[in-house]
Amino acid sequence: MATWTLRILWAGLFLVLGLCPKEAFPSEDPTPCRPERYSEEREKMVREQIQARGVKDGSVLRAMRGVARHCFVPREFRDEAYEDHPIPIGQGQTISQPYIVALMTELLRLKPSDRVLEIGTGSGYQAAVLSGLVKRVFTVEISAPLAEEAGARLKSLGYENIQVRRGDGYLGWKEHAPFDAIIVTAAPSEIPPPLLRQLKPGGRMCIPVGGRYQVQQLTLIEKKQDGSISKRAVLPVRFVPFLGDH
């Protein structure tokens, strides 16, 4: 556990050291992404980083094998796409470590009929993983450049059941609520009440919770049929901070 915990600290280090590009990586990429590349690296990622750490859900493993992660990072980082750490994607944001993406997805216990809300689209990678597991994915990104790029990228790669919106994720997406599951990829200091309200009874939310300089806890929330909420801390993590006017 100590090894991968240190790896996820890379996200914070990228920000501290100023290694994140200031702009989102361009859609007009002179070196177009070829999804069929890096198949051996992708299989090794699943086997050594994800299965070896205890993720067992076959549908999640297939989804991780099926999404070309290198198409969701800037071209200068494509050779690192399947390594065991986050990668900067611009606007002070990162694409999460592969294991964390798989773990959070597995914790949601998704069904093919589910409608899922994602907060923090980033480059679109997590949404792409969810796409093959559920009926619809609604994803909200506060950064206009990242939202625009992610929408174009997902469309170009053929993901048709994902809807991207630029907005404040704290507010969720009321027009499409309630959701069977909610996944949050940035850390608020407290769980946003609007997201709890938009979670369907019987639904699950996976969210990192903790301030910028605090130990964050990946937290699993379950909303029971009577509307009551249960929370369980899963493990310590390090995510970029939740942004917005709240």
Catalytic machinery residues: 96
Interhelix angle 98-107/58-66, rounded to 10 degrees, is: 140
Cα radius of gyration (the chain): 17
Structure token digits, residue 120: 């923090």
Residue 165, classified by CB atoms within 10 Å of its CB into exposed (0-12), middle (13-18) or buried (19+), is middle
C-alpha to C-alpha distance for 211 and 239, rounded to whole angstroms? 10
Alpha-carbon gap, residue 111 to 130, rounded angstroms: 10
Q: Please state the φ and ψ torsions of residue 232, each to the nearest 5 degrees.
A: -140, 125
As given in the structure block, the two tokens for residue 9 are 């600290």
Closest CA to 101 of 71, 139, 64, 56: 64
For residue 246, the one-letter residue type is H
Start-to-end C-alpha separation, the chain: 34
Backbone phi, then psi, for 70, in 5-degree steps? -65, -20
